Amino acid sequence: MTCSEQPLREQRLVFGEVADIYDRRRPSYPSAVVDAVLDFTDIGDKSPVPVAEVGAGTGKASVLFAARGLKLTCLEPSPAMAAIARRNLAPFPEAEVEETAFEDWRPPANCYGLLYAAQAWHWISAEARYVQADRALRPGGTLALFWNVQVSSGSEGLQRDLSVAYGELMSARLNGMGSRAERVEVNNWVIGEVAASGLFERGSPTIVQEPWQRVYDTESWLELLSTQSDHRMLDKETREGLFDRVGSAIEANGGQVEVDYVTVCYLARALARR
């Protein structure tokens, strides 16, 4: 197959190429974030009010909400990711996975008490995001959008060596992310979109931040990188060469990457239907 004959890869679906590694290496979310979401809603643990998740992936966030006994519908467009999500959710009879994109989903109108997306809302088309959310949420229902944001990853020496390893390749990844505060606010575009939609209470969204840390060894860090869409979109030869250089940089700096994360959650309450 020539390059011109190869099928186009949609960036938001490349995670399915490494679904098992994604499930093994992608971090979950702090339980305090689930608490904050449910505290903001008018539903509680074991509520019969239906809840929907956008872009469930392999179920990293799904299992946290399903463990609260909620009636949960998880939407995931990648067959490989959906299969693992079903496996991870098997212990929770009130949770189900629908293999569909959010844009194509046709939910019962205005019946969901909570619609949430973990690490996924930016993949939804701008035209569909809030129209679909409005269609699904009941009056006063909650839209919860959250991401794990890396605000630091390793020592200054490691960052210097990683800059050399990446060179001009994806240089914006290392050099264009700004200060810690700017990284935390990287998804603040949500604020303007929620307000502009006119579908949520004035003053929305409420923002919750939960900091935490994780340490990766060289192997686990490279596996984590292999699940990130910008790295997946590189051709195999380029990616393997990059990973050799990144691995050498980590080994030269103690064989570990200490990462500071902040989980940032945006919470908005739907208006009563007009």
Mode of pairing for the β-strands spanning 137-153 and 256-269: antiparallel
Mode of pairing for the β-strands spanning 95-98 and 112-118: unpaired
Q: Which two three-digit tokens encode residue 48?
A: 């019969």
Q: Of 239, 134, 112, which is closest to residue 197 (Cα–Cα)?
A: 134
> Which phi and psi angles does 9 have, rounded to 5°?
-105, 125
pLDDT for 191-234, tens place per residue? 999 999 999 999 999 999 999 999 999 999 999 999 999 999 99
Q: Which one is predicted more confidently, 1 or 193?
A: 193
Rounded to whole angstroms, how far apart are CA atoms 190 and 198? 13
Name the pTM for this structure.
Answer: 0.93
Give the domains, in start order, of the chain with CATH numbers.
Answer: 3-154+179-215+260-269 (3.40.50.150)
